[in-house]
Structure 1
């Protein structure tokens, strides 16, 4: 994230057992069981950090190993999964194109809510998704100040140094969040960046207790950000960011309930859309 003084354009994280339970369940009326199982396996791989063994999928999904093997080989043949030299399987590069396209559509859908946050608070508002072990910014509504924060849509960052990343990880079961962090390069972007796993676990406990996350200049000095995760199935978080001089504790106190309201509104809108297409 960087300061931008003149660019007016737009720019710019459930428990791991859920997919496992669904994978073993029979297909719902009107659906194709093989497709449901393949999607559940992809989600289970993402829950495990993006790389997993077939035996792990068998142990957690309840599906027979031959069934998992056929599904994974089919996905690998289409580029949605790839086999590692360790014989484990990882999410494949073809998913990136789907994720980028879906992310852009989510960003367009969320921008009116981000604009409301900017109108109320003045600072840049962001929407970010957790994809595997990275956070990707999918929408931003620029702040009203001449000196404002600007993050490119599509930018990918590690979750440990961002408020949106912390908020998203705090939604997870602690064991799953730690597994994601084991696959994350804990780079120290500033002296404030948390690079110790135990210290980061303690930070996530604070986020869970507070209901929101704060980036205290951990990605870039002089920048402060506060974020709230959406409560629905979409692994997304909304945030506002700005210079530390303007992002005072008083502003954060005002921002948190507005961020929570925006997150709840997005979840409600998504539920209505799902109900309309069911």
Structure 2
């Protein structure tokens, strides 16, 4: 069960427990930045140690993990999947081409993301050279309700679809600036839809402001999002308005096929 499911008390009846555990282990190993062993994985993920050992051994044999004297690291086979996924995502190449041609965002961290369940998943990023205090990475997942691109994509959805996702995948706040409840989010969504872009004012990280706009597919549904990040000190009202318009303009040039 992932974090959002634990908080909502919901889980999918169609999930296979062994696969769910394997994915949780892979996610933890990939995100930890360390080389966790069986004991740490079992303790942190609250899984039986014997199950963790068996799953890890299987994942090593499959090339999804590799073992060392200290524990487990990501295996090379996962790169085949990520490469195949990104190869199909023409939007990533369009995003990179657009940034190379339009230099108005050169001073900012720029990200491209999509939605998976209640999270945004980052597909591409160009981190700025100046300090931001937060580094975006490809494959990183964050709660959609607190991110600029997540807000923008949700705001562009039909109301019923948006409210279902917001309710089902409501996540614990990451900072004190987080939107408080689903009703407040709905009020914000109406505003973001009218503006054409959404704001994260320190909801992912204190002191960081992000502006995001939805990228639509050929059916006119939100399929991805583009965002820029800046420090709170930079986020003056006129600057937000100016770059919000730019983000909306660039998002309109990108289409998910």
What TM-score comes out, normalization by structure 2 length? Answer: 0.62
Label 1:222 to 1:232 Cα distance change in 2 as closer, same or farther (>3 A). same
How many residues end up aligned between the 2 structures? Answer: 183
1:229 corresponds in structure 2 to: 214
1-side partners of 2:213 and 2:115: how far apart? 13
1:242 corresponds in structure 2 to: 230
Label 1:108 to 1:264 Cα distance change in 2 as closer, same or farther (>3 A). same
Q: Contact 2:147–2:200 (CA<8 Å) still a contact in 1? A: yes
| Unaligned segments of structure 1, at least 5 residues | 1-50, 53-81, 86-92
2:30 corresponds in structure 1 to: none
1:102 corresponds in structure 2 to: 85
2:114 corresponds in structure 1 to: 129
Q: Contact 1:143–1:149 (CA<8 Å) still a contact in 2? A: no
Label 1:188 to 1:265 Cα distance change in 2 as closer, same or farther (>3 A). same
Q: By how many angstroms is 1:111 displaced?
A: 1.4
Label 1:207 to 1:100 Cα distance change in 2 as closer, same or farther (>3 A). farther
Q: By how many angstroms is 1:182 displaced?
A: 1.9
1:208 corresponds in structure 2 to: 193
Q: By how many angstroms is 1:164 displaced?
A: 0.6
| Unaligned segments of structure 2, at least 5 residues | 1-10, 17-22, 24-77
1:140 corresponds in structure 2 to: 125
1:255 corresponds in structure 2 to: 243
Q: By how many angstroms is 1:144 displaced?
A: 4.5
Deviation readout 1:194-245 (Å, 9 max, x if unpaired): 1311111111111112111000101110000001101324610111001111
Q: Does 1:83 align with 2:14?
A: yes
Q: Does 1:164 align with 2:95?
A: no
Deviation readout 1:164-200 (Å, 9 max, x if unpaired): 1000101111111111112213211111101311111
Q: Contact 2:127–2:136 (CA<8 Å) still a contact in 1? A: no
2-side partners of 1:113 and 1:149: how far apart? 23
2-side partners of 1:159 and 1:222: how far apart? 19
Q: Contact 2:134–2:205 (CA<8 Å) still a contact in 1? A: no
1:114 corresponds in structure 2 to: 99
> Which piece of structure 1 moves more, 227-236 or 129-138?
227-236
Q: By how many angstroms is 1:259 displaced?
A: 1.2
Q: By how many angstroms is 1:113 displaced?
A: 2.0
Q: Contact 2:118–2:165 (CA<8 Å) still a contact in 1? A: yes
SS at match of 1:181: helix
Q: By how many angstroms is 1:83 displaced?
A: 2.0
1-side partners of 2:198 and 2:84: how far apart? 27
Q: By how many angstroms is 1:161 displaced?
A: 0.8
Q: Contact 1:117–1:125 (CA<8 Å) still a contact in 2? A: no
Q: By how many angstroms is 1:132 displaced?
A: 2.2
Structure possessing the higher relative contact order (Cα contacts under 8 Å, 6 or more residues apart): 1
